[in-house]
Structure 1
Amino acid sequence: MKTKIYVQMLGGFSLSIGEKKLDLGTNNKANFLKLSEIVFLRGLGGVSKRDLIDGVFGHKALLDENNSLNNLLHQARTQLKKAGMPGKKIIDGKRGVYAPEYDPNYDYVLDVHEFEDICLKAKNEKKPEKKFSYYQQAFALYKGELLPEFATDYWVILESVRLKRLYDDVVDFLGEYFKEQEDYESLFEIYDKANKIYPDNGWQIEMIDALILKKDYKTAYELYTKCAHYYQDELEVPIPEALRSCYERLSDNVRVVTDDIRQIQANIVRKDEKLKSEMGARKMGAYLCPFTSFIDIYHVLRRNLERRGSSIFMMLCTLVDYEGKPIQNQEKLNARAEILEQSLSEGLRKGDVYTKYSSSQYLILLIGTKREDCAIIYQRISRRVKELAGSRAEFRYRIVSLAEIPGILERNNQLEE
């Protein structure tokens, strides 16, 4: 009976002979491991010398490609043999093609190929229960993304994208299956595991949906709040429609999240204290918020204009070069935008609100400000920008009163008619 050599690449690289896992050292990004992984991934069909060199060394300039490859092959063979891999060469090279050394006493089993084979069987299977069984096996086998240590290498990216598509199909099938079976506990577990592997794939929305189906509204609401914060405050993008739909379903079912207003206040205070802590020694200036939050604040202020009895102006600041033209150099633009943001934080009052509108623009809500004061505010911010970025640093500004906006919109509508 043949002994199995098991090669794991999903979720990380490891080698096992039978039941024994080999010790490959602590440096999981070593080049000899990268070379070994490329060879094992291609299997007995092998990899060409050119592809192997490009995969290991990338675009790095080498004085002698052949010598560099031979030295690394020697290191890989030595280290793998030391770890317990059987064979004379371990990695065989013939006619410019490199492959795992064939030994009739051993079977190479690669989890990537195993996963692909099970997915193919599942796709071709007609019987629902057998199809479900195959997809369950595939799901259990997929421990994580392909070789995360080298996730940004081109040769890994090509394989990883293909495998992720297969994994998405697995998750989608199992999700639909458990939903039809009304097994909402398993439904949540499927999406929870998928989310741990690919946190930016949007599985959180499916998790919230599963929690709603489980009638675990409190946990669903907590997860929704976390997701909404991620989209608005970290990614600074609008909340996806699917997530909004989850909230609408939640709002129909959640009666009481908490009846302790002091607890709510404490959470708000903690968030404010965290913000102050992150600011460190910097003075707490105007309120910087995501554009979506800026819109909400804008609407609230407009509705309260009459009651407040104070004027509010919106200012648009646009970065330009010393000739008044858009800045073309992206690196320079990024640096200048950071300086403008700092200048706004320092130059505006605590009660003012501002947001990044584009890579070269910021929007500001100046509360309780007269029209003639806007030019003074511009001058103050401009001086600070020049202090930080040099005398040729410029930005232009435009202002509009919130009280004037309804009239502007009305005139525009009349012109369109």
Structure 2
Amino acid sequence: MPTEVDAHQFVILSKDVQACTDKVKKLALLKKICLMYSGEFLPELSGDEWVLVESVHYKNIYSESLQELCKLLIERGDYEEALRFCEPACQLYPFDEWQSVRIDCYMALNRYKDAVQEYENTAKLFFEELGIRPSEHMMQQFEQMSSRLNYKPQELGDIKERLKDDDVRGGAFYCSLPSFRDSYRLVSRIIERNGQSVYLMLCSITNGKGMPMDKPDKLEALSGELQNTIQQCLRKGDSFTKYSPSQFLILLVGTNKENCSMIFDRIQRYFSREHKSWKQYLDYFVSSVAEVDRQDSPIQFNTENKTW
């Protein structure tokens, strides 16, 4: 029976592109390559060395083809088409900075607000997941588009409307790490004056034996569920953030140390409501905000750490 293997066809197409001298035909071939690629090669066998080697090879073909395709499309002024082809790459490989190409396209289309939004989303992703900022190139892009945005004076009513919380889910307030840091600093100053009881809780995902989780796929699933759990289990006046891929910080206002253990028990029960064994993967530390800077506090921040 005649058979056709998409991986083989993928390689053949890449060779056809290299041999093609006609720009129109090359454009069609590059589009075909990019549309054919759907992600990691044989993900169920990703632990096998030969699969890993092939997977890297196919990704390189895809990346080089997409880069050449975007270059040709931008030269032709087909910015919308370039945006469309970059979208899957941003989903598959969010840390390869394909967003930078999208920002260039938005700027060429004079869609500066979309460009700024793309940058802000990318910067947030890089900071929360990797603890780093985007590349120098993206920083330069941000400066260019910011200088071209026209900000009009706003009425106080309009400003208040824009400041409103659009999240209607209720529960604890999730914020980015920089925002959480600012909230923490503000609360630290407030309690110096009014003496209110505020506690900081660090929830960590472990391997069940008190050590960091070392399985990326499992960590991603547990982390997503823990974020949802914290959102559901805490009050609207509490805030939290993702401090690292395996850790969440929670700011508990108007509570005491005894209640903190009850709050963690509630988080643990909700977290393991469908998978009882998940209970063993959670650990926590708690400290009064007023005591965090003390040497004996179970939660401490390195002052040399730029992320805090």
- Ranges in structure 2 where 5+ consecutive residues have no aligned partner: none
Q: After the TM superposition, which residues 280-299 of structure 1 pair with which residues of structure 2 at under 5 Å, given as runs?
A: 284-289=170-175, 293-299=176-182
Question: Tell me, what secondary structure is at the counterpart of 2:201?
Answer: strand
Any idea what the Cα deviations from partners look like across 1:59-87, whole Å, max 9, x if unmatched? xxxxxxxxxxxxxxxxxxxxxxxxxxxxx
Q: Determine whether 1:351 maps to 2:237.
A: yes
Q: Specify the alignment match of 1:241 in structure 2.
A: 134
Q: Specify the alignment match of 1:29 in structure 2.
A: none
| CA distance 1:268–1:160, shift in 2 (3 Å) | farther
Question: Tell me, what secondary structure is at the counterpart of 2:167?
Answer: helix
Cα offset, 1:306, TM superposition: 3.6
Greater strand proportion: 1
| CA distance 1:255–1:343, shift in 2 (3 Å) | closer
Q: Determine whether 1:165 maps to 2:60.
A: yes
Look up the equivalent residue of 2:4 and give its one-letter code: E
Distance 1:386 1:153 in 2: 31
Whether contact under 8 Å (2:17, 2:29) holds in the other structure is yes
- Which of 72, 83, 89 aligns to 1:192? It is 83
Distance 1:119 1:269 in 2: 52
Cα offset, 1:216, TM superposition: 3.4
Cα offset, 1:218, TM superposition: 3.3
Any idea what the Cα deviations from partners look like across 1:283-329, whole Å, max 9, x if unmatched? x332244xxx133222244146446734544222456799x844879
Cα offset, 1:222, TM superposition: 4.3
Cα offset, 1:241, TM superposition: 0.9
Cα offset, 1:251, TM superposition: 1.6
RMSD: 5.2
Larger Rg: 1
Whether contact under 8 Å (1:327, 1:333) holds in the other structure is no
Q: Determine whether 1:138 maps to 2:21.
A: no
Amino-acid identity (%): 19
Distance 1:147 1:334 in 2: 21
Distance 1:175 1:339 in 2: 38
Question: Tell me, what secondary structure is at the counterpart of 1:271?
Answer: coil
- Which of 183, 205, 211 aligns to 2:100? It is 205
Distance 2:27 2:214 in 1: 51
Q: Determine whether 1:398 maps to 2:286.
A: yes
Question: Tell me, what secondary structure is at the counterpart of 1:241?
Answer: coil
Cα offset, 1:141, TM superposition: 3.8
Any idea what the Cα deviations from partners look like across 1:27-73, whole Å, max 9, x if unmatched? xxxxx9xx8333x876xxxxxxxxxxxxxxxxxxxxxxxxxxxxxxx
Bigger mean CA offset, 248-257 vs 261-270: 261-270
Cα offset, 1:208, TM superposition: 0.7
Q: Specify the alignment match of 2:3 in structure 1.
A: 36
Whether contact under 8 Å (1:319, 1:395) holds in the other structure is yes
Cα offset, 1:353, TM superposition: 1.4
Whether contact under 8 Å (1:334, 1:359) holds in the other structure is no
| CA distance 1:252–1:386, shift in 2 (3 Å) | closer
- Which of 333, 338, 342 aligns to 2:229? It is 342
Whether contact under 8 Å (2:10, 2:36) holds in the other structure is no
Any idea what the Cα deviations from partners look like across 1:181-207, whole Å, max 9, x if unmatched? xx4733x24532422443434423211
- Ranges in structure 1 where 5+ consecutive residues have no aligned partner: 1-31, 43-110, 123-129, 277-283
Q: After the TM superposition, which residues 174-185 of structure 1 pair with which residues of structure 2 at under 5 Å, given as runs?
A: 175-176=70-71, 183=75, 185=77
Q: Specify the alignment match of 1:65 in structure 2.
A: none
| CA distance 1:132–1:405, shift in 2 (3 Å) | farther
Distance 1:313 1:377 in 2: 10
State the TM-score, normalizing by the size of structure 1. Answer: 0.48
Q: Specify the alignment match of 1:221 in structure 2.
A: 116
Q: Specify the alignment match of 1:302 in structure 2.
A: 185
Q: Determine whether 1:117 maps to 2:15.
A: yes
Distance 2:37 2:158 in 1: 43
Aligned length: 278
Look up the equivalent residue of 2:241 and give its one-letter code: T
State the TM-score, normalizing by the size of structure 2. Answer: 0.61
Q: After the TM superposition, which residues 365-404 of structure 1 pair with which residues of structure 2 at under 5 Å, given as runs?
A: 365-368=251-254, 373=256, 375-384=257-266, 395-401=283-289
